Structure 1
Amino acid sequence: MSTQNALLTILVEKINNDTLVLPTLPAIALKVRKAADDPEINLNDMGDVIGQDPSLSARMIKIANSAYMGRSVKVTSVSQAVTRIGLRQIKNISTALAMEQLFVSKNDVVANYLQKEWANTVKIVANSMAVLQLYIARTKKREMSMDTMTLAALVHNIGVLPILTEAERHAEVFANPSFLDVAIDKLAGRIGASIMQEWGFGDTFVNVAKNWKDLSFIPEQLSYIDFVRVGAAVSGAMDSQKDAVLNLAIQRGVVAEMGELHSDEFEDLASAAKQIFL
């Protein structure tokens, strides 16, 4: 058996036996999500929860002051940031901002892979957000929210993490980019769906993680997966399917025409969104 097939066999067996170690959400993200689900929570209490993590606090202030929020008056405190962002959006945004903590490894090959994966993910997130912003501006439809879009795009390829963790445990055999690429292509969607379910995320996130690369999966109604696919295609993550993705996007009304994705407005929106994670 080739080492490539060995990795796939190990991963599939662990998936089928429910023994694959799935990543856990960073502690601060869990705290914020739990607090956000409390019907008695208020903005001051939420500010106190976020204030326990200096890094998240700083990033919340940054996002509150970003072009993403569309405000010119600067905020300088966590309480002001929470008030501006709002309780409804805090849950997803805080989770999104904490996600980078998962993309770390002590193995050089795996760490390099994770760094590239995070950079590619941020690019896809930024492009997906920009596509949705243009869609909302053009159609005036607001059934989809930017905070959910942000998190959906961030977790779209989350299934790579357990694969890379397994490679790290058997680095002498598996920490090889060519092996990892095959395993990720074959299994990341299935594993990603399991992670979303384990984390208690809804069908929106499960479907994105599981099916974003599978163009035979087409939701009846326009959904976040449509925007993730366009964001990925524009980012170069779906080169072999790029034309199909973009043609489908036009058919489904995600974009009006290709020129939107090459416009200065799109570039400006994507650049502003990317700054949130830098």
Structure 2
Amino acid sequence: MSTENALLTILIDRINNDTLVLPTLPEIAVKVRQAADDSEVNLMQMADVISQDPALAARMIKVANSAFMGRSLKVNTLNQAVTRIGLRQIKNIATAMAMEQLFVSNNKLIKAYMDKAWQQTLKVACQAITCMDFYLRVNKHTSLNKDTITLASLVFNIGVLPILTEAERHPEVFANPSFLAHAIQKLAGKIGGSIMREWGFTDEFVEVAESWSNPNYKPDHACYVDFIRIGAIAEGILQVSDKAGSLQIYEDKGVIRSLEMFTSDEYLSTLEDVKSMFD
């Protein structure tokens, strides 16, 4: 059996036997989510929780000051940032901002793959969030919202992490990058869904992680998977033979206004605003 097939067999066996080591949610994200689920928590207490991670605190202030939040008056403190963002949104946004902590490795080769995966994730996220913003301008009564797509678009590809971690034990597979791409394509969705369930995330996040790259999954209603796919197609991360034709599906479905939207000054300006949150 080739090294590549051996690795694939190991991964499949561990998935089937529930023995694959899954990444754990960053500790600060766990604390924020627990606090947000406490009906007694107030904004000051939430700020205290976030302040335990200075890097996250700085990111939350940056998000609060971003043009995407639609405010021109700058905030300077974490308390002000939490107040502006609000308890309802803070749970998902803080979790999203902590995700980068997972894409790290002491192995130089693995780190390069993880860095690439994270940068691809950010590109898809920015497109997905921007598309959602445009969608919400027209569909004001939808249950879809910006804070959920912000987190969903940063965890959609989380299934690659255990594959890369396992591959670290088989460095010879990196001599064949196309194999690793095949393993990710074949298994990342199922693994991603398992991670979302392990972390106790809701069904909409499981749906995104499991189904975004599955061409056979075609929901009739507008959902978060649509926005992730649009972002992935726009950035060339979801490989399709006809990019315009693939995006046209979402215009017909009413998820995007038109294909011309992507090249409009308004869209590109909003996209830059979203990117500024992750710089």
TM-score range, shorter chain: over 0.9
What TM-score do you get using the length of structure 1 for normalisation? 0.96
Give the 3-state SS of the residue equivalent to 1:104 in structure 2.
coil
- The whole-number CA distance in structure 1 between the counterparts of 2:239 and 2:258 is 19
**1:36-86 deviation per Cα after TM superposition (whole angstroms, max 9, x unaligned):** 010100001001000111000000000000011100110001100000000
What residue number does 2:257 align with? Answer: 256
Give the 3-state SS of the residue equivalent to 2:168 in structure 1.
helix
Which shifted more, 245-254 or 30-39?
Answer: 245-254
Closer, same or farther: CA 17–159 of 1 in aligned 2, 3 Å: same
Question: 1:126, CA displacement in angstroms?
Answer: 0.3
Is 1:57 the equivalent of 2:96? no
- The whole-number CA distance in structure 2 between the counterparts of 1:193 and 1:146 is 21
**1:165-189 deviation per Cα after TM superposition (whole angstroms, max 9, x unaligned):** 0011232445752231111011000
What residue number does 2:201 align with? Answer: 201
What residue number does 1:213 align with? Answer: 213
User: Percent identity, aligned pairs only?
Assistant: 56
What aligned pairs does 1:128-277 form with structure 2 within 5 A after superposition?
128-173=128-173, 176-240=176-240, 242-277=243-278
- The whole-number CA distance in structure 2 between the counterparts of 1:176 and 1:31 is 40
RMSD, aligned CA:
1.4
Give unmatched runs, 5+ long, in structure 2: none
CA contact (8 A) 1:107 1:171 kept: no
Question: 1:262, CA displacement in angstroms?
Answer: 1.4
Letter in 2 for 1:275: S
What aligned pairs does 1:95-134 form with structure 2 within 5 A after superposition?
95-134=95-134
- The whole-number CA distance in structure 1 between the counterparts of 2:265 and 2:239 is 22
Which shifted more, 165-174 or 22-31?
Answer: 165-174
- The whole-number CA distance in structure 2 between the counterparts of 1:108 and 1:264 is 40
Question: 1:256, CA displacement in angstroms?
Answer: 1.9
What residue number does 2:3 align with? Answer: 3
What residue number does 2:75 align with? Answer: 75
What TM-score do you get using the length of structure 2 for normalisation? 0.96
Letter in 1 for 2:7: L
- The whole-number CA distance in structure 2 between the counterparts of 1:142 and 1:61 is 28
- The whole-number CA distance in structure 2 between the counterparts of 1:39 and 1:255 is 36
**1:124-179 deviation per Cα after TM superposition (whole angstroms, max 9, x unaligned):** 00000111111112333442111100111111111000000001123244575223
Which shifted more, 215-224 or 102-111?
Answer: 215-224
- The whole-number CA distance in structure 1 between the counterparts of 2:9 and 2:220 is 35
- The whole-number CA distance in structure 2 between the counterparts of 1:199 and 1:44 is 26
- The whole-number CA distance in structure 1 between the counterparts of 2:218 and 2:141 is 20
Question: 1:238, CA displacement in angstroms?
Answer: 1.7
- The whole-number CA distance in structure 2 between the counterparts of 1:82 and 1:104 is 27
Letter in 1 for 2:273: A
CA contact (8 A) 2:173 2:179 kept: no
Is 1:91 the equivalent of 2:98? no
Give unmatched runs, 5+ long, in structure 1: none
- The whole-number CA distance in structure 2 between the counterparts of 1:246 and 1:163 is 29
